[in-house]
Chains A and B, each alone.
Chain A
Amino acid sequence: MADGSQSVTFLALILPFLAAAIAPALTRVFKHNAAWVLALAPLFLVVHFFGYLGDVADGRTVTGGYSWIPSLGVDFAWFIDGLSLTFALLISGIGTLIVLYAGGYLKGHEQQGRFFSFILMFMGAMQGLVLSDSFMMLFVFWELTSITSFLLIGFDHAREASRRAAIQALVVTGLGGLSLLAGLLVIWAATGQGTLSGLLATGDALRAAPFYLLALVLVLGGAFTKSAQFPFHFWLPNAMEAPTPVSAYLHSATMVKAGVYLLMRLNPVLGETVWWETILPVFGGTTLIVGTLLAIRQTDLKLMLAYTTVASLGLLVMLTGFGSEIAIEAAVLYLVAHSMFKGALFMVAGLIDHEAGTRDVRRLGGLRSAMPITFAAALLAALSMGGLPPFFGFLAKEEIYAALNFSGGWNGVFTVVAIVGNALMLVIGFAVALKPFLGAAVETPKHAHEGPVLLWLGPLTLAVVGLVAAVFSGVSHHYVSEPMAAAVAGAPVEIYISVVPHASLALLLSLVTIALGIAIYLLLDRARDAMAGVLAAIGWGPDRGFDQVIRGLIRLADAVTGVIQNGRLEVYMVVTFVMIAIAVWTPMLVFDELPSMPSVPDLTFYEWTVFAIAIIGLGAVVYAADRLTAIVSLGIQGFAVALLFLLLGAPDLSFTQFMVETLSVVILALVMTRLRLHPSDHRPTPEKLLDMTIAGACGLGFALLLLKVTQIPFDATLSEFFSTYSYVIAHGRNIVNVIIVDFRGLDTLGEIAVVMITGLAILALIRIRVPRTSKQPEAAS
């Protein structure tokens, strides 16, 4: 790879983020027309990635990157093959149209700049996700898409439904992201490969590894949550709370396909096992059926589309899981087709909402003359979604039915699942694209008319591309479908399917699907009521389960906090000192480090006297019946300590101690006489005994520890250092003073600062008088 191309690709990776940074300022200047400028960023990406099409179609891959964390073997590296290139083109191509669409959709919204910023950030994250080579980079971008999705779903943060949907999406996909991280780490540990390109070159190593199943389940945890597979599907319909450009872009065309991307990417190393070919089709097939059935129930255009998106993702997972080459071709074709027609239909739904003021399919009708361009785009997209020739969706559906034509016990079941699913999707596609436009004109909240060019450009372009790509299927297969399928299959693939219908079993199944779909479409209202009845009978779903889990978490947190943080100082102190006693005693007992029995101390008469004074002082503090006695006794033990220091060769300590103790007693006496405080003990006897036990255990523990310390040999290196250099270097004879003002001078400076700050804090405490009604006085603010 030439260096120039490398830096351009790097620029392409960061360009959306740069555009996101300038979007708010640009929007302030140009208002909604900033979209025309901002769309240049994704357009640049489209042009740049188009340049790789030829190389990739010839079977080459493009890699490049920079060193990121060399010590961990993590690089900022990208890897472009047919799979990532197709995704990159979808992301940047649809992204260009979405930016323009958002310009029209949120025209006049005061936060439009922020919206542009979020959606461009998402684009950058998604782009990075599909181009990443190293696992760490993949994971970071993966999580970044979850976070930007959270920001976009919660864009209208004043509504509770928005906030809930945003949190729900973040929790579900975030947890999935953690699962993915664990899975990638397992793969990394099992194969020693930290990059996708490296991993794909290992062949069967991962399948043979003992942790294969663990890695598979963890990776699926990430993929299934991101791609909304049953039973994690519930966050996706709720995410429709986001503005429509977000639904069209993130929640149908790109982000939700990240899970499918991951599965396709890892298919060559994780696939072709019994587990893979069981779990994926079962979950995918279930999601397909559940998604379409729930879609029938909806009346909101966006929700109908959202559930069919769930269903389509299920179909993709199912196909990826079959493992046969033709199934992979079908998955690839369907993924591309779906991105285009679903993105277009979402934009149409938003356009209808924008112009007519409602998205309720029962309150819409006869818009074809008012909005002809929108109708055209909707019709083209719906025909593709319904799988009719000559649209790209037709190619996909023919290939799907061809893929089902394999031998296996569950063949029949999956065929029925696919037929029912596809028929229901055709129903929804027609319901969204036809119902609002056909029939008699219905009174809508707003007087409907055709939207501005910014709004219809996107859906129309996508719908037309879906048609052109199918008509020139040879070209699109050569440059897009075949390289992508080859990357998924791990071997070169050739696709022959074209828009010309040819007699085969697949065509027959297609006809069955279309007939079934049209039949249900005519009975849609009745089917909807029936589904509503079934759902009401079931009553519970994962969506309500999510609420229950979140509430349960809050209750649990509250209960735990109530126990740990109960607001009683006494309890905190008891726990603290019990832990200290355990910490002191355990090592001594477990490692048999108890001190040996000391000999009876040999002290002089006056030394014993000082000890006695200290003990009497301590006893008096505990048993003092009034506050003056307690204060005086505190002074007694302090002076006894000062005397000990004096006797044991520490005159400096002694003087300081004398001064401090005197000051303490004086201040205490001054403060205490102003307050009606009881210094004596009011604890009931059992409590006293407990506290005494804890205190005794701590005291004895410290004493034994100290005794042990004094029984091991003394290392006098430091003391000798000070003795040797005190006069020679620092020119002082009193070594203690030299240490304080010279060797550890900075330390002393810190100490002085502490004393000064304490003085200021005390001053503040005394001076601040807050009214009775407010809370506690602020300490040292």
Chain B
Amino acid sequence: METALTGLVGLFYAVSIYMMLSKHIIRVLLGIAIFGNAVNMTIFTAGRVLREVPPIIAEGRTALDGVTANPLPQALILTAIVISFSFFAFLLVLAYRAYQELGTDNTDEMRIAEPEGEGLPPLGY
């Protein structure tokens, strides 16, 4: 199972990075969304996959019986999902507002902060 998952994780990374390398801001955003999933699955796989049984202590017991899924990566990922969602939402609104103000979705054309052909800084003292 882990082998199959690593393959899928690799594919997720490849697709998200390919999207992020685009000039179009919306494709970059889609890439970031996928990247979040890729990272979460990396944590999940690294914590080993032991199939079906969720890490819940049975009624009347004080610890887990037998083999269950690893609870630690799950807790980490739960936090990560929420954070990456807020991150994504913020970037989406930022892109939306940038498009409204600048009238372009091409990152090459967003040059207000670093204008082209600025010339040399002053050479005096």
Is the pairing of A and B real?
yes
Q: Closest residue of chain B to A696, judged by CB?
A: B14
- Known contacts A565-B114, A621-B34, A718-B72; is A765 also within 8 Å of B17 by CB? no
Q: Closest residue of chain A to B15, judged by CB?
A: A618
- Verify B22–A558 contact, CB threshold 8 A: no
- Verify A621–B15 contact, CB threshold 8 A: yes
CA distance A424 to B90 in the complex (A): 75
- Verify B26–A703 contact, CB threshold 8 A: no
- Known contacts A637-B34, A677-B99; is A707 also within 8 Å of B14 by CB? no
Check A698 for interface membership: any CB of B closer than 8 A: yes
CA distance A710 to B78 in the complex (A): 21
Chain B residues contacting A569 (CB-CB under 8 Å) are 23, 28, 107-108, 110
CA distance A298 to B8 in the complex (A): 80
- Known contacts A664-B88, A740-B78; is A719 also within 8 Å of B71 by CB? yes
- Verify B124–A709 contact, CB threshold 8 A: no
- Verify B37–A638 contact, CB threshold 8 A: yes
- Known contacts A706-B9, A710-B46, A775-B112; is A751 also within 8 Å of B82 by CB? yes
Chain A residues contacting B61 (CB-CB under 8 Å) are 727
- Verify B15–A622 contact, CB threshold 8 A: yes
- Verify A706–B21 contact, CB threshold 8 A: no
- Verify B69–A681 contact, CB threshold 8 A: no
- Verify B82–A656 contact, CB threshold 8 A: yes
Q: Closest residue of chain B to A618, judged by CB?
A: B15
- Verify B112–A681 contact, CB threshold 8 A: no
Check A544 for interface membership: any CB of B closer than 8 A: no
Question: What's the dominant secondary structure at chain A's contact region?
Answer: helix
Check A714 for interface membership: any CB of B closer than 8 A: yes
Q: Which of B20, B40, B72 contacts A722 (CB 8 A)?
A: B72
Q: Closest residue of chain B to A721, judged by CB?
A: B72
Chain A residues contacting B108 (CB-CB under 8 Å) are 568-570
- Verify B6–A160 contact, CB threshold 8 A: no
- Verify B6–A706 contact, CB threshold 8 A: yes
Q: Which of A163, A699, A776 contacts B125 (CB 8 A)?
A: A163
- Verify A558–B121 contact, CB threshold 8 A: yes
Q: How far is the CB of B46 from chain A (nearest CB, A)?
A: 5
Check A383 for interface membership: any CB of B closer than 8 A: no
Chain A residues contacting B69 (CB-CB under 8 Å) are 648-650
Interface residues of A in 655-674 (CB under 8 A from B): 656-657, 660, 663-664, 667-668, 671-672, 674
Interface residues of A in 627-670 (CB under 8 A from B): 627, 630, 634, 637-638, 641, 644-645, 647-653, 656-657, 660, 663-664, 667-668
Interface residues of B in 51-106 (CB under 8 A from A): 51-59, 61-64, 68-72, 74-75, 77-79, 81-83, 85-90, 92-94, 96-99, 101-102, 105
- Verify B120–A776 contact, CB threshold 8 A: no
- Known contacts A638-B37, A762-B90, A775-B112; is A699 also within 8 Å of B75 by CB? no
Chain A residues contacting B26 (CB-CB under 8 Å) are 627, 672, 677-679
Check A49 for interface membership: any CB of B closer than 8 A: no
Check A723 for interface membership: any CB of B closer than 8 A: yes
- Verify A653–B81 contact, CB threshold 8 A: yes
- Verify A567–B82 contact, CB threshold 8 A: no
CA distance A702 to B15 in the complex (A): 13
- Verify A702–B93 contact, CB threshold 8 A: no
Q: Closest residue of chain B to A557, judged by CB?
A: B121
Interface residues of B in 2-42 (CB under 8 A from A): 2-15, 17-28, 30, 33-34, 37-38, 40-42
- Verify A740–B79 contact, CB threshold 8 A: yes
Q: Which of B12, B72, B112 contacts A719 (CB 8 A)?
A: B72
Check A537 for interface membership: any CB of B closer than 8 A: no
> What sequence of 0s and 1s flags, for each residue 528-563 of chain A, a beta carbon within 8 Å of any chain B beta carbon?
000000000000000000000011001100100000
Residues in A lying within 8 Å of B, measured CB to CB: 160, 163-164, 167, 550-551, 554-555, 558, 565-570, 573-574, 577, 598-599, 601-603, 607, 611, 614-615, 618, 621-622, 627, 630, 634, 637-638, 641, 644-645, 647-653, 656-657, 660, 663-664, 667-668, 671-672, 674-675, 677-679, 681-683, 691-692, 694-696, 698-700, 702-704, 706-707, 709-710, 714, 716, 718-719, 722-724, 726-728, 733-736, 739-740, 744, 747-748, 751, 754-755, 758-759, 761-762, 765-766, 770, 772, 775-777, 779
Residues in B lying within 8 Å of A, measured CB to CB: 1-15, 17-28, 30, 33-34, 37-38, 40-42, 44-59, 61-64, 68-72, 74-75, 77-79, 81-83, 85-90, 92-94, 96-99, 101-102, 105, 107-108, 110-116, 120-121, 123-125
List 27 A–B pairs whose Cβ atoms lie within 8 Å, in order of A's numbering.
A567-B111, A570-B108, A577-B17, A602-B1, A607-B1, A614-B8, A614-B12, A647-B52, A649-B54, A650-B44, A653-B44, A653-B81, A657-B81, A660-B82, A660-B85, A663-B85, A664-B88, A672-B26, A683-B23, A694-B21, A699-B15, A699-B17, A706-B9, A716-B70, A719-B47, A722-B72, A735-B56
Nearest 7 A/B pairs, CB to CB: A703-B10, A699-B14, A649-B69, A567-B114, A695-B18, A739-B75, A601-B4
